[in-house]
Amino acid sequence: MKKILTILLSAVMLLAGCSQSLVYDELLEQLDTTITYVIDGKETVVKAAVSAPLSEDPAKEGYVFVGWSLDEGDSQMYTAWGEVLEDDFRLYAVWEYDEVTGYIVVSPSGDDETGAGTMAAPYKTISKAVSESEDSASVLVVGTVTEDIALTDGYDLELHGYVGQGAEEEAKLKGRIVMAEGSSLTLEDIVLTNDSGAVNSTGGMGLVFSNTGGFDVEVVNSRIVPMGQAYGIEVSLLGNGVDTSPVSVELRNSVIDLSDSDVGTSYARGGSYGRAVGIAVNNKYDDTRGVVDYAYLDSFTLVMSGSEIIGNTDPGISTINILLNEINQIDLDITGSSITTPRNHYPILLNDCGSEDGDSHVTISDSYIKAWCGLYIRNGSVGIDIDVSGTTFDCISDNAGESNAFSCFSIHSSLDCSIDVGNCHVILGGTEDAANMAIFCYQYNNTYGGGSSFSFSDCTFEYIGGFNLVDGYIGSIDHLDGELDNSFTMDEASLASVLSLVDGSQIAEHHEDYTVAGDFTVDYTTYYLTVPGSDADITTV
């Protein structure tokens, strides 16, 4: 049938007039052969009967489009256009470096003394390329370059990995980049990593690191791979008049891979917050683990699109993919991305962030979150609005002990925060050795907090684990008096999904006076799934 269609199509293409397009479109609908054009990892699929290039050549700044190849390199350049397709067809865009773009070329085969910063005569180090321009440099990295780079105030550095014709390996920088006030960094088509035995001598542990605010980082089609005692991106502000201006990080089609990152017991706060960290902001403590006087960052913006932060899969190593500590205003926009941790700790932890202005926002859409606890807002955070839509939360616990009875969505000792979860799939549970998990858990352990809300709409829930959910809690919340009362709402669709976890169950509510400090008491409310008659002490709502 396919051959007949392609022959007919070939014949129709010889026709002229209006009827040609109509007949061609009708026959094209019956075809099942396609050409997939791959341009820097992005795919465009087109139905076709014969091989043909795209109607317009792709464009990429700094490169010249050479043509199409049958493989991801350039060893099988394709030129036999017009062949009848018997099977699906893949073509990869091939680029070569454009000498006129102004990039400074750096390669391990280059020479800082005799080189000219060109493809024919590259420099050996990025530092040499940086020294050649006063306030900015666009550097093309060919192969693997090993060095540390410290930017000066106001300096803009772009590092582009060479992926063009003749590239024998992916471009890689083995080292560390230290940011400065007013500086910016762009990583594109490059791997930033380090020697696992390297020791950072300028404080902090990030491969991208700063002791100041006021800078931007953009990561495009790249990977940040910390090895050993290193994080991905770290901002650690001490006091002493440092710049607390906004910091912005953008990840597009990129990965921070923590598989081989483990800073061990040298991590601040006694190691209690985890040891492998993807993005850590404003989280500086001294070597004796006592708190150092440090500054509050004015604001932090993170945009993730089509990107991934991968936690260390070793169950003995804790992971926090995104750790934000003491930031006055935050704006997180996570779209179409994946954030995964091992069995314990958190993909996103916000500690003492936000302000009474209430202008802090977290938006997560069409993403995948795999962790012990999906979101954790804690210890003095204020006015953070969290909107989640179309996202899967895969929260399975292997942690033993009641102290690990966390949940997918937690607000702990914080003020006027909200989590709105819509059209999400929530997977929860644990092994027999682990504490049971709740759909959400609001833990209140001091006199600060309240005014927070949890809302679920059009959500589906799935339970995987060794526990019997009858009379097991699905959520807990504190009811306080007055304006600081907390709330929990669930629409009919979400409620029906929860009730489907246990046949014949109902939502039940159990109240208990909970003394927090001195004579300060709250109404601690726990929501259960219960089968009528199974527990006389629980009042069905």
pLDDT, tens digit, for every residue of 249-267? 999 999 999 999 887 644 4
Average pLDDT over residues 522-538: 67
Average pLDDT over residues 417-433: 85
Res 537: pLDDT: 42
Apex 335 CA angle, 318 and 427, nearest 5: 55
Strands 520-530 and 506-517: antiparallel
Q: Residue 50's beta-bridge partner residues?
A: 84
Round to whole Å and give the CA distance between 292 and 156.
30
Asked if 256 contacts 308 with a C-beta cutoff of 8 angstroms, the reply is: yes
> Is residue 316 classed exposed, middle or buried when 0-12, 13-18 and 19+ CB atoms within 10 A define those classes?
exposed
Helix (H, G, I), strand (E, B) or coil at 269: helix
Residue among 184, 191, 104, 203 nearest 146 (CA): 191
DSSP 38-89: EETTEEEEEE-SB----SS----TTEEEEEEESSSSSTTB---TTPBPSS-E
What are the pLDDT digits (tens) for 203-259? Answer: 678 999 998 999 999 999 999 999 988 899 999 887 667 889 999 999 999 999 999
Round to whole Å and give the CA distance between 228 and 293.
28
Q: Which residue has the higher pLDDT, 93 or 469?
A: 93
Res 240: pLDDT: 65
Residue among 357, 365, 367 nearest 386 (CA): 365
Round to whole Å and give the CA distance between 242 and 296.
10
pLDDT band at 36; cut points 50, 70, 90: very high
What are the pLDDT digits (tens) for 102-151? Answer: 899 999 999 999 999 988 899 999 999 999 888 999 999 999 999 999 99
Asked if 304 contacts 292 with a C-beta cutoff of 8 angstroms, the reply is: no
Average pLDDT over residues 379-401: 85
Orientation angle between helical segments 2-12 and 18-29, nearest 10 degrees: 170
Helix (H, G, I), strand (E, B) or coil at 406: coil
Round to whole Å and give the CA distance between 159 and 106.
10
pLDDT band at 356; cut points 50, 70, 90: confident
Average pLDDT over residues 453-459: 93
213-228 b/e with 16+ CB inside 10 Å = b? bbbbbbbbbbbbbbbb
Asked if 394 contacts 429 with a C-beta cutoff of 8 angstroms, the reply is: no
Q: What are phi and psi of 191, to 5 degrees?
A: -110, 125
What are the pLDDT digits (tens) for 166-207? Answer: 677 899 999 999 999 999 999 999 999 998 777 666 667 899
pLDDT band at 7; cut points 50, 70, 90: very low
Instruction: Report the mean per-residue pLDDT for the chain.
Output: 81
Asked if 309 contacts 258 with a C-beta cutoff of 8 angstroms, the reply is: yes
pLDDT band at 4; cut points 50, 70, 90: very low
Is the pLDDT at 538 greater than 50? The verdict is no
What are the pLDDT digits (tens) for 303-344? Answer: 999 999 999 877 777 788 999 988 999 999 999 999 998 666
Pure H helices in 252-321: none
Q: Which residue has the higher pLDDT, 52 or 523?
A: 52
Is the pLDDT at 270 greater than 90? The verdict is no
Round to whole Å and give the CA distance between 41 and 52.
20
H or E element at residue 287: none
Total residue count of the chain as it appears in this document:
541
DSSP 493: H
Q: What are phi and psi of 12, to 5 degrees?
A: -60, -35
State how far the alpha carbon of 393 is from the alpha carbons of 16, 432, 436, 489, in Å.
55, 21, 16, 19
Res 331: pLDDT: 98
Could you tell me how far CA 320 lies from the centroid of its own chain? Answer: 11
Helix (H, G, I), strand (E, B) or coil at 67: strand
Apex 281 CA angle, 277 and 287, nearest 5: 75
Half-sphere exposure of 10 (CA within 13 A, CB side): 13
Average pLDDT over residues 419-442: 76
Superfamily of domain 2-97 in the CATH hierarchy: Listeria-Bacteroides repeat domain (2.60.40.4270)
- pTM listed for this prediction: 0.82
Res 441: pLDDT: 62
Residue among 91, 80, 86 nearest 33 (CA): 86
For the chain, the domains span 2-97, 137-540
Is the pLDDT at 156 greater than 70? The verdict is yes
Q: Which residue has the tokens 């001195």?
A: 518
What are the pLDDT digits (tens) for 358-370? Answer: 899 999 999 999 8
Helix (H, G, I), strand (E, B) or coil at 291: strand
Asked if 250 contacts 303 with a C-beta cutoff of 8 angstroms, the reply is: yes
Q: Which residue has the higher pLDDT, 69 or 358?
A: 69
Q: Which residue has the tokens 């022959």?
A: 7
pLDDT band at 287; cut points 50, 70, 90: very low
- Non-local (6+) Cβ contacts of 466 within 8 A are 429, 430, 431, 432
Ranges 4-18, 86-100, 239-253, 379-393: which has the least confidence: 4-18
Q: In 10 A of CB 64, how many CB atoms?
A: 17
Res 450: pLDDT: 80
